[in-house]
């Protein structure tokens, strides 16, 4: 049993910090009162309160260590960001991660239950479904009609179910060599060649284009993506897809609460931008932080305030690739480390658009469907959900990783619509009208019949230090070698990178990847 006074102390502290930061008061101002500058080093400093950093703190919470967490912004969660649109309080709008697959993500599944979160079915699944709508080259069809109606000049052997076609691309042209390495039939390892090179060697151009166009995502294809990254290695079959009732941001938030309650020695600091790491004569690490401030959801350095220094014996860097690239630390300057950091993985930007409506009108149109894929800049569209209390609805108008620049340009003009108070995610009426135009084309209806929403948000995690939605492996790299190197870039230093960036298991586009790295690192702490 935890000491009740300690539990209450940290619960109150966290609530106060949340309130202060919600009001825009920098947490470091309050931090002076709840935690004076320590006279001794932390055993562990964790940089970043996203999913990976929070998971690391949570897993280390009972180790009898003095641990401090430092967060750049005023918010726990990083890419885990759950909000509600006005008047729709019980539909979690997930600006970042929104689902997991227990069979593929056992750590996420176990953690959800350990945290006491309510694991529920993710109603819209992971598509496609037999009646999912596809709009390709000006033609409308359901998923199960693709082999017959897809407007592509495909060889007869490729006019099969889309999942079977993708499986055949792997099964017919690869083998596993004597060392267990996946290799194409011409002898080239899949990790050493791009998806585009592999496909061009074995398929005709129309089939390649068909596979690209019919996929919900585009970042998995092309010359910058390793063939092994997105060629299915098992016959696709239905899998259970889950989420949590409290929203994905509850993962890191609950973990931080548990972390603070576990020991009076643990600390948490908002608005702390790690700028450099230096090793002192004692062998400890001096961490220099620049104070930051958050206004309307946008965090920036406070340049007229002096940097502060903290001390730690070990450091866990739970920060994204962009943050690592801007960190002043000798351990990242080695030539091999620089190559891996800058070149081994491709940064992917994805965007989501959510519209809030007073009623779910889209469920009553002729081509109504839970999930649609198109070649328009919307790419994927989901019937996201309806409030059980107000009966208002949320339409996930777009989920795309192909046209984020278009949407960033579109929000530069027009008047802002209601959102949830974070300027970084606001949409204008001009950008909303552009999305309505594409939606009308997908669903074969006049644009005037697509109502303007009462609220709207657009998420693109392009701002510093996140700067990415996920990562994909580039061709030419040994994933295991890169993961090993980048988890502990300097053999002389107890500084570790935790996160999903360099996940050799292929989970760099899921939270599971970061959790896997954390599990490996905590064995070394």
Q: What is the pLDDT of residue 39?
A: 59
Looking at 60-74, 109-123, 414-428, which range is the least confident one? 414-428
What pLDDT, in 10s, does the model give residues 154-177?
999 999 999 999 999 999 999 999
Q: What is the pLDDT of residue 40?
A: 84
CA dist., res. 500 & res. 471, Å (int): 8
pLDDT at 247 > cutoff 60: yes
Average pLDDT on 281-298 reads: 95
What pLDDT, in 10s, does the model give residues 213-229?
999 999 989 999 999 99
Domain boundaries, the chain: 4-78+249-343+476-522, 82-126+350-460, 145-230
* Residue 4: other Cβ atoms inside 10 A: 8
CATH number of 82-126+350-460: 3.90.660.10
Average pLDDT on 248-260 reads: 98
Pairing verdict, β 42-47 and 67-70: parallel
CA dist., res. 57 & res. 65, Å (int): 10
pLDDT at 29 > cutoff 60: no
What pLDDT, in 10s, does the model give residues 434-478?
999 999 999 999 999 999 999 999 999 999 999 999 999 999 999
User: Is the Cβ–Cβ distance between 357 and 85 less than 8 Å?
Assistant: no
Average pLDDT on 82-105 reads: 96
Buried b (16+ CB within 10 A) or exposed e, 246-280: bbbbbbbbbbbbbbbbbbeebbbbbbbbbeebebe
What pLDDT, in 10s, does the model give residues 122-131?
999 998 999 9
Average pLDDT on 111-119 reads: 98
User: Is the Cβ–Cβ distance between 388 and 367 less than 8 Å?
Assistant: no
pTM of the model: 0.92
Q: What is the pLDDT of residue 1?
A: 34
Q: What is the pLDDT of residue 30?
A: 36
The structural architecture, per CATH, of the domain 4-78+249-343+476-522 is 3-Layer(bba) Sandwich (3.50)
CA dist., res. 74 & res. 95, Å (int): 17
Looking at the chain, the number of H-run helices and the number of E-run strands are 16, 23
What pLDDT, in 10s, does the model give residues 331-356?
999 999 999 999 999 999 999 999 99
pLDDT at 256 > cutoff 80: yes
| Residue % of the chain over a pLDDT of 70 | 93
Average pLDDT on 68-94 reads: 96
pLDDT at 14 > cutoff 60: no
CA dist., res. 363 & res. 119, Å (int): 26
């090179």: which residue's tokens?
A: 197
Q: What is the pLDDT of residue 63?
A: 97
User: Is the model more confident about 69 or about 37?
Assistant: 69
> Mean pLDDT score of the chain, rounded to an integer?
92
Query: Using 50, 70 and 90 to split pLDDT, how confident is the model at 37?
Result: low
pLDDT at 393 > cutoff 80: yes
Read out DSSP for 154-221? --GGG-S-HHHHHHHHHHTTEEE-TTS-EEETTS-BGGGSBHHHHHHHHS-HHHHHHHHHHSS-STTS
Query: Using 50, 70 and 90 to split pLDDT, how confident is the model at 6?
Result: very low
Average pLDDT on 261-280 reads: 97
Q: What is the pLDDT of residue 424?
A: 83
Average pLDDT on 120-148 reads: 96
DSSP, res 75: -
């001009």: which residue's tokens?
A: 430
Q: What is the pLDDT of residue 236?
A: 79
Q: What is the pLDDT of residue 230?
A: 85
Average pLDDT on 193-199 reads: 97
pLDDT at 31 > cutoff 60: no
pLDDT at 33 > cutoff 60: no
Q: What is the pLDDT of residue 118?
A: 98
pLDDT at 18 > cutoff 70: no
Query: Using 50, 70 and 90 to split pLDDT, how confident is the model at 15?
Result: low
Average pLDDT on 109-125 reads: 97
């Amino acid at each position: 049993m935890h000491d009740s006074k300690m539990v209450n102390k940290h619960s109150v502290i966290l609530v106060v910090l949340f309130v202060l930061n919600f009001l825009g008061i920098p947490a470091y101002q309050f931090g002076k009162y709840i935690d004076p500058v320590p006279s001794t080093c932390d055993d562990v400093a964790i940089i970043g309160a996203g999913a990976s950093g929070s998971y690391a703190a949570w897993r280390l919470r009972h180790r009898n260590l003095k641990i401090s967490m430092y967060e750049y912004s005023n918010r726990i969660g990083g890419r885990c960001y759950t909000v509600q649109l006005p008047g729709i309080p019980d539909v979690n709008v997930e600006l970042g991660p929104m689902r997991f697959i227990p069979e593929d993500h056992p750590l996420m599944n176990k953690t959800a239950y350990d945290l006491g979160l309510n694991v529920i079915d993710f109603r819209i699944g992971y598509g496609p479904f037999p009646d999912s709508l596809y709009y390709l080259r000006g033609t409308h069809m359901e998923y199960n009609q693709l082999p017959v109606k897809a407007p592509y000049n495909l060889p007869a052997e490729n006019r099969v179910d889309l999942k079977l076609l993708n499986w055949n691309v792997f099964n017919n042209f690869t083998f596993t060599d004597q060392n267990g390495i996946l290799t194409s039939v011409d002898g080239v390892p899949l990790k050493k060649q791009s998806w585009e090179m592999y496909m061009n060697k074995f398929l005709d151009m129309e089939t390649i284009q068909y596979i690209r166009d019919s996929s919900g995502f585009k970042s998995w294809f092309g010359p910058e993506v390793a063939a092994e990254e997105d060629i299915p290695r098992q016959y696709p079959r239905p899998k259970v897809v889950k989420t949590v009732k409290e929203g994905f941001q509850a993962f890191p938030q609950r973990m931080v609460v548990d972390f603070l309650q576990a020991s009076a020695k643990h600390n948490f600091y908002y608005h702390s931008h790690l700028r450099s790491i230096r090793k002192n004569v004692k062998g400890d690490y001096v961490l220099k932080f620049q104070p930051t401030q958050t206004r309307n959801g946008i965090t920036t350095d406070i340049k007229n305030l002096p940097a502060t220094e903290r001390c730690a014996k070990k450091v866990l860097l739970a920060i994204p690739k962009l943050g690592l690239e801007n960190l002043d630390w000798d351990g990242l300057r080695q030539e091999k480390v620089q190559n891996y950091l800058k070149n081994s993985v491709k940064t992917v930007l994805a965007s989501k658009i959510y519209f809030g409506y007073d009623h779910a009108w889209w469920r009553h149109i002729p081509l109504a469907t839970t999930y649609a894929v198109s070649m328009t800049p919307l790419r994927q569209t989901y019937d996201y959900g309806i409030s059980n209390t107000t009966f208002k609805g949320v339409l996930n108008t777009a989920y795309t990783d192909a046209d984020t620049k278009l949407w960033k340009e579109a929000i530069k003009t027009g008047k802002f619509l209601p959102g949830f108070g974070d300027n970084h995610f606001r949409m204008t009426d001009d950008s909303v009208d552009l999305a309505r135009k594409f939606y009308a084309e997908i669903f074969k209806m006049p644009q005037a019949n697509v109502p303007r929403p009462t609220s709207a948000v657009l998420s693109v995690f392009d701002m510093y230090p996140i700067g990415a939605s996920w990562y994909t492996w580039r061709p030419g790299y040994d994933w295991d070698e890169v993961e090993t190197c980048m988890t502990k870039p300097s053999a002389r230093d107890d500084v570790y990178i935790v996160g999903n960036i360099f996940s050799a298991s292929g989970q760099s586009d899921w939270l599971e990847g970061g959790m896997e790295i954390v599990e490996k690192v905590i064995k070394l702490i």
